[in-house]
Structure 1
Amino acid sequence: MSRLPRGWSAASLGELASFEMGQAPPGSSSNFEGVGTPFVKAGEFRERSPVIREWTTSPLKFGRSTDVFICVVGATAGKLNLGADCAIGRSVAAIRPATTGMQLFLYYQLLPRVLELRAASRGSAQGVISQKVLSSINLVVAPLGEQTRIVAKLEELLSDLDAGVAELKAAQKKLQQYRQSLLRAAVEGALTAPWRDVQRRLGTSTETGAQLLQRILTERRARWEAKQIARFNEQGKVPPKDWQKKYPAPVPPDTADLPKLPDGWVWASVEQISEIQGGIQKQPSRAPMKNKYPFLRVANVARGKLKLQDVHEIELFQGELERLALVAGDVLIVEGNGSLTEIGRCALWDGSIENAVHQNHLIRVRPVGVVSQFVETWLNSLGGIEKLSKLAATTSGLYTLSVSKISKIPVPIAPRAEQEASMRVLIDNLSALDVQEQSVEQSLKQSTAQRENILRAAFAGELVPQDPNDEPASVLLERIRAERAERAKQPKVRRIKQEKEIAAVVKKLINVLEEAGDWVPAQEAFRRCGVADGALTERIEALYAELRELDKADRLAVEVVTDAQGRKLHDKLKLLAG
């Protein structure tokens, strides 16, 4: 650790806080109707404070609004939230500062270490961040007065930064919406309306979409018949009578619920205008050895773009490359995904990697006679996404596509010349949009870096001026140690005495609220009841139980106090007339 600022000290988190490791109450005690104690699990964590959406009538472990909550289990391990007065499940631990006013100082100091904490959970046998790991985290401690100034400055700077980030994210969302509107306009005719006007004025005669589709279908049948004749000749057979009737004609789409298209356009099914091919299943026998080729996976296909930084390899068997190799212009569609918004996302293969093949979770569509990018644009537009999503839904709740499902997808077919014109206009507009999106993305990255720099400066003693009159952190640490040692010396209180104390506290809580006669911060009310850091768990739980009873009797008013940005600071209480 680098040299500390004057008056600062180093300490472990275990020296600065105690820990309440969460425990799940019985499932039968949980409800969503507001009955009992608010109950928080990792799933309720938000940007800064947890959301309350579940309650329990049998709480086992409690958090406080002065705690720092940390997720200790799963993919979100290490995520931090400010505490709340609630029960906590096993996925949550409450970090309880040893002294009043240290909550935000610890919260902000731990924020940059989320990934480090998450790695600690993966390194444990149980996949959790243990109390031992939490206790051993090394931190720095500023004098209490300086802690207050640091937190105030952080709140000011980060609030401004958060406001800027919110504006950037709003701009990002609008750009995404604009992108979708461009895609839709390109494949539903709005983008080429001026082009059509020009063609009419010029008297240009072009093949209509319907004529194009008929030509594609005629040529498709001719290719099938040519293959059949070649097969008969190879086998030395005379074609049987009416063999042409066995032609598997592609099924046209159901156009009942499809939007109206411009004059000269027509709807077709994917099967009518393309060749569809499934991919290769990865298995031990295909480990890349002697006959290995580039192997595209779902991870390589984003919506509208390829991600080719990490391309695997796979072993091909004799004759497979000729049948399965991708060619530029192929459309790759994601066949399965846990998210309905991602199912069916697709990208145009650019041919940048020679002899690439694809896995079975990607479906290859090879357009014939139409512009490949026009097909891909439709599939990635809101109209195409809607059709793909409907076909992907199953009764099991999983989302999956197949070659047969893809073949039924309707596709708008414009005249070939208009398809090409539409894609030219779209590319020009998307190029300008890409620049704007990259600018916003860069600004967001800069905001992240700025946040990291602010937090680094804060805990290096560089954010606010120091006051030589501040009590050194070493004195604070010594006082915390002394208070802990004193509590450790106290004999365990008998159960009967504890119950008497609990009853006294409950009575005093009512008295405190009556004496206040107006709003009083919840933590201040607890303090006046003698419940502060180090209080018996039973006394704390009795207070919460009494609060719940008062609430049920309509004797208690509770309001949330927020800062200028609407973020929760604390609760305040008021006793209502009986």
Structure 2
Amino acid sequence: MTDSGAGEVVASAPGSRLPEGWGRATLRELCESVVKVHPGELGKETFRYVDIGSIASGELVVSTAKEIPVQGAPSRARQLIQVGDTVFSTVRPYLKKIAWIPEFLDGEIASTGFCVLRPGEALEPRYLFHLVTSNGFVARVVEKQRGASYPAVREVDIFEEEVVVPPLSEQRRIVAKLDEQLARIEDGEAALVEARRQLELFEVMLLAKATKANPEASSWDCFAIGEMANVSSGATPLKAMPEYYRHGTVPWVTSSMLNDAYVDSADKFITDLALSETAVKEYLPGTILMAMYGEGKTRGKCAVLGIRATTNQACAGIELKPAFESSRAWVLAFLEALYEENREMASGGVQPNLSLGLIKKIRVPLPPVVRQKEILTELAERRSEAAAMREVIKDASAQAKSLRGALLHAAFTGVLVPQDPADEPADTLVDRIRTQRQAAAVKPVRKRAPRKTTSKPASSGQEELSL
């Protein structure tokens, strides 16, 4: 299951006109309360824990649920969940960390960082799930978030949201149609993901075939990067010195920008004062940069500078010596082909990193310049074909998202499935639930019984006086 898609307009917005038989109610009126428990009350030694990290952004499924000993239960592990619940992360709601609880997580524990939505009798569970994952609903919740460094909403912000409620029978028809059509879209999206993966493998094979060992390469010269270039790294000016950053005009490139093969702009800048007073070094256009560490797939990525720029310490600058400058494109292609091997060379625990020493030891086979150009020209043609295919996959993915949004729009405006006049109107059901809840909330006032009084027996002296 993936994100609901762009371009979606959802009829659950307050004030929109409703189809015949539909009604409106808040989620508080439509959902049941969820029991807060300590995992120790479950009567077992371990439990599966669904925290916010268990759901990948926009994927709408619980991808991991760690099994945790009861004695090591986190303080936020307090919400007892059951199959059919929908969990909605109250932290950074724009990330859409929302998921349906499947059967294997029935009776397990979720973090208090979720708002757990348990549908009452007026809601089909899957209808509720599709509704709250729609872009329109999420956008309204995001408007309520508070905080800059840790933006979040409260449970009450979600429960106060008013949503559209079709008749229960129609909800079931909507869910059946949505699940059927969305499954087809997801199959198509899975095929696109696989096509993208195969394309990446194809490019790796192209690079390897063009630059790595083959019978022809046995006659090529081979040089270490340290022999071919001056290798150094950048630095980060002291953040406590605002004069190093305020109104800066000197491009400062970080490793996150090396995911593209060519760097011709920067999104961060430092001042001339920082350049003169710190260990930051300015590199000329044509310098090859390699990410020595960074998030995700960044480590080992290479790019060529197209501008004069400085870098942080996570980037190695490879400045080819005059004798090797004509082989710049070849060296870049070879380092790209070594991407996986370079990543494996990295050392360290929490954040493995490459070192300047390791980079200097990388050996590059160097064919004659004419042969380099022939190989690189053929490589460029094949990579151009791969890039065109990547655009086709990108367009198909966008179309799948648009189709998903159109389906949800149709579902929540009453045009996905036909209405049936025989269905009990949603307003009738919702009003009945409201009445039942109001009655349950009114506690009968117990009349206090009159206090019984008992007269004390008269003393002997009093008896004598009465006589």
Say whether 1:475 aligns with 2:431. no
Distance in 1 (alpha carbons) for counterparts of 2:440 and 2:149: 33
Say whether 1:440 aligns with 2:393. yes
Say whether 1:157 aligns with 2:203. no
SS where residue 20 of structure 1 aligns? coil
Compute the displacement of 1:163 (Å): 0.9
The Cα offsets for residues 507-563 of structure 1, whole Å up to 9 and x where unpaired, read as xxxxxxxxxxxxxxxxxxxxxxxxxxxxxxxxxxxxxxxxxxxxxxxxxxxxxxxxx
Compute the displacement of 1:459 (Å): 0.5
The answer on whether the counterparts of 2:289 and 2:304 sit within 8 Å (CA) in structure 1 is yes
Match of 1:89 among 111, 122, 131: 111
Equivalent in the alignment of 1:69: 87
SS where residue 439 of structure 2 aligns? helix
RMSD, aligned CA: 3.2
Opposite residue 20 of structure 2, the aligned amino acid is R
Equivalent in the alignment of 1:393: 347
Q: TM-score, normalised by structure 2?
A: 0.77
Distance in 2 (alpha carbons) for counterparts of 1:318 and 1:63: 54
Compute the displacement of 1:266 (Å): 4.1
Distance in 1 (alpha carbons) for counterparts of 2:148 and 2:230: 50
Distance in 1 (alpha carbons) for counterparts of 2:260 and 2:368: 26
Equivalent in the alignment of 2:219: 264
Gap change, CA 1:380 and 1:118, over 3 Å in 2: farther
Compute the displacement of 1:57 (Å): 4.3
Compute the displacement of 1:287 (Å): 2.4
The answer on whether the counterparts of 1:20 and 1:93 sit within 8 Å (CA) in structure 2 is no
The Cα offsets for residues 29-59 of structure 1, whole Å up to 9 and x where unpaired, read as 99xxx95443322233364543544155478
Distance in 2 (alpha carbons) for counterparts of 1:98 and 1:327: 65
Opposite residue 333 of structure 2, the aligned amino acid is T
Gap change, CA 1:433 and 1:23, over 3 Å in 2: farther
Match of 2:206 among 161, 168, 182: 182
Say whether 1:11 aligns with 2:25. yes
Gap change, CA 1:147 and 1:405, over 3 Å in 2: same
Opposite residue 335 of structure 1, the aligned amino acid is M
SS where residue 61 of structure 1 aligns? strand
Say whether 1:311 aligns with 2:267. yes
Gap change, CA 1:297 and 1:365, over 3 Å in 2: same
The answer on whether the counterparts of 2:122 and 2:430 sit within 8 Å (CA) in structure 1 is no
Provide structure 2 residue ranges, at least 5 long, that are not aligned to the other structure: 1-14, 72-76, 445-467
Aligned length in residues: 408
SS where residue 17 of structure 2 aligns? coil
Q: Describe how 1:500-515 pairs up with structure 2 within 5 A.
A: none
Compute the displacement of 1:407 (Å): 1.9
Distance in 2 (alpha carbons) for counterparts of 1:364 and 1:155: 51
SS where residue 468 of structure 1 aligns? coil
Equivalent in the alignment of 1:258: none
SS where residue 134 of structure 1 aligns? helix
SS where residue 337 of structure 1 aligns? coil
Say whether 1:332 aligns with 2:289. yes
Equivalent in the alignment of 1:292: 249
SS where residue 263 of structure 1 aligns? helix
Compute the displacement of 1:490 (Å): 6.2
Compute the displacement of 1:139 (Å): 1.2
Distance in 1 (alpha carbons) for counterparts of 2:192 and 2:96: 26
Equivalent in the alignment of 1:345: 301
Say whether 1:54 aligns with 2:76. no
The Cα offsets for residues 127-148 of structure 1, whole Å up to 9 and x where unpaired, read as 5432211112221111112111
- 427-436 or 40-49: which moved more? 40-49
Opposite residue 61 of structure 1, the aligned amino acid is Q
Distance in 2 (alpha carbons) for counterparts of 1:436 and 1:335: 30
The answer on whether the counterparts of 2:60 and 2:96 sit within 8 Å (CA) in structure 1 is no
Equivalent in the alignment of 1:170: 194
The Cα offsets for residues 36-85 of structure 1, whole Å up to 9 and x where unpaired, read as 44332223336454354415547843111021122333688642211241
Compute the displacement of 1:278 (Å): 2.1
- 403-412 or 55-64: which moved more? 55-64
The answer on whether the counterparts of 1:40 and 1:54 sit within 8 Å (CA) in structure 2 is no
- 330-339 or 434-443: which moved more? 330-339
Q: TM-score, normalised by structure 1?
A: 0.64
Match of 1:380 among 307, 311, 336: 336
SS where residue 377 of structure 2 aligns? helix
The Cα offsets for residues 285-334 of structure 1, whole Å up to 9 and x where unpaired, read as 32255x833332333221534474x533321259969x954334211112
Gap change, CA 1:75 and 1:467, over 3 Å in 2: closer
Match of 1:278 among 230, 233, 244: 233
SS where residue 398 of structure 1 aligns? coil
Opposite residue 416 of structure 2, the aligned amino acid is L
